[in-house]
Structure 1
Amino acid sequence: MRPYASSGLSRGKPFVTVLVVVTLTFFVLHAFSGDIAASLSGNTATAAQIEVKRHQLGLDKPLVSQYGEWLSHAVRGDLGTSWTTSDSVSDALSARLPVTLVLAVGATLVSGVLGIAVGTWAAVRRGALDPILQTFVVAGYAFPGFWLALVLSSVFAVDLGWFPATGYVPFTESPGDWFSSVFLPITALVLGATAAIAQQARNATVQVLQADYVRTLRSRGLTTRRLLVVNVLRNAAPTSLTTMSLWFIGLLSGTIVVENVFALPGLGSLANTATTSRDIPMVMGVMLIMVLLVVAVNLVLDLAQAWVNPKVRIS
């Protein structure tokens, strides 16, 4: 395959992005966390005990030195130990990452398929479907994910008992129970994303359908289905793919709320607990994983756009 145009991720920018985000996160956390040693030592700790805790955590060193030590260990895969549980940060992230990936990736794929299907249908049919789609878009933005998660949990888990209200079952243990445990959380995440992708897919498809070459192909007798699959969707896809990648970032943050509502052991609930307890190594580990996921998704977007639409490649 020839080289292709990208958002810059293939030209060395991912490293810069990750470095900038983790650096800012490190210094902001330390600037606004107050006296971490005193907080972790407890209300009854003496000044001497607090000073011992500060030395144990390395907080008595200059902040730049602390950051340098963390970064040098992080590039070797050592993210340190939790300040509250003494567990390995890497082990904690490895145990919880699959849950968050299932929610974020699953919600992105479901919303992408539904959004592109609905948006394309509305672009082709037009008429009464347009106001219906607009209403759906407004509803998708109006209802926040945490509210929808609470409603779904209350109705379908507590009242009807169709799905478990809390907990997560790994796929390897029971595919059926796994599906039941993630169905409501993913459903709570997809509404807004589906609405946004449907709107963008509809607008992009309408523009392509109005292009001169499409009218020419119609005049040559191409069926609507073949025209859509071979020509229209291929040229309208980049807009939908870009929207999906942006919503993936939003869905990652949305998992924080959803995981807490459904008591799922993912990165979102871990980040919430670590932030509350001022566990900076754990927060830094979660942030690093999140940034790497965003960079990876953008790289996949570049590759997908080059495969779907060869026009983005550089000759």
Structure 2
Amino acid sequence: MRNVDIVIPGLFLPQEICADACAGLPVPFLEKMLARATLQPLPENGYSCDTLEQWLCQKFVMERQQDEPIALVTLTADGMQPGDGYWLRADPVHLQMRRTQLLLQPDLVLGAEEAAQLCASLNLHFNADGLHFFAPSPQRWYLRVENAPEIVTTPLAQASGRGVQMHLPKGKDALRWHKIFNEIQMIFFDHEVNRTRETRGDLPVNSVWLWGGGRATGKIASPYERVCGDSFLAGAFARTAGIDPGPAAGDWTRLPALDGDMLVAWEGLQRPLLQGDLHAWRDSVLRLEQGYLVPLWEALRNGRVRQLSLDLPGARLGYRFVLKNNAAWKLWRLAKPLEKYALR
């Protein structure tokens, strides 16, 4: 294998929480990689690298639109064809009032029939406006419109656990879409599906989150031979580009046979960090270390991998740590605890 890119949003923590989150965290292979690598800026190539969505759009050479057109990629992975319409993700969420803010909670456990009924109500209400909702997956809904709205949206992962007001669509058409956002909440307020969910103790679906819009512009690039990790989004890019999945965590029996480049996309740190769940963040770091970094370190040292790149996208500050196989033997570069990489 030639090169392995590892993208890990949410690895470096703010200084005020880093010491507690990283205390006693046994990640010696990650720490050795960081210590012996060369630090480089993340290349942009038309996209900034504030988010995993932007990083993937850059790597797979998605044509730049007003938003990162994530809906097109996941729609295809969910078995639908975009045609010539404009698509947005319209994911089911729960909005919780806390003091003076509405906080967004994603990842609702939702059945296919529940999703179908809720989308049917949206379509009945918005049909005259040319808005059409689809739920090929209970957790991933889509909205098709004929004409591209002039808005910029916030990815669901970035808005998760935060006040929605600052993350609503921005741009020339923003007020219209704020109105649609409010109408959806009114439709769902006393919906039969939600009454049933509340009766059994489940959170109601009281809104959708609109993001990742775009129109199909052609085939995306295939920069890797294999893609693996815990990221559904990276897997969707891989399926859309016709790329085979890579080895599962800890299963590296096929590694010597790979001739091209590979991507490991690890998304499991991002949402726990946004939700303030540092125990889940620690658990995810440990799974990354044992499932991928340990075997990749050994593959680098014995020459089966020529170069590892650890890409850490972040808001206005991204890092790339490049580790060639000869650098793995630079024992004088002493590892530092992960907490020493705290963001200031």
More helix per residue:
1
User: Considering the TM-score relative to the shorter chain, is it more than 0.5?
Assistant: no
More strand per residue:
2
Which structure would you say has the larger Rg?
1
TM-score (norm 1): 0.28
Greater length-normalized contact order (CA 8 Å, ≥ 6 residues apart):
2
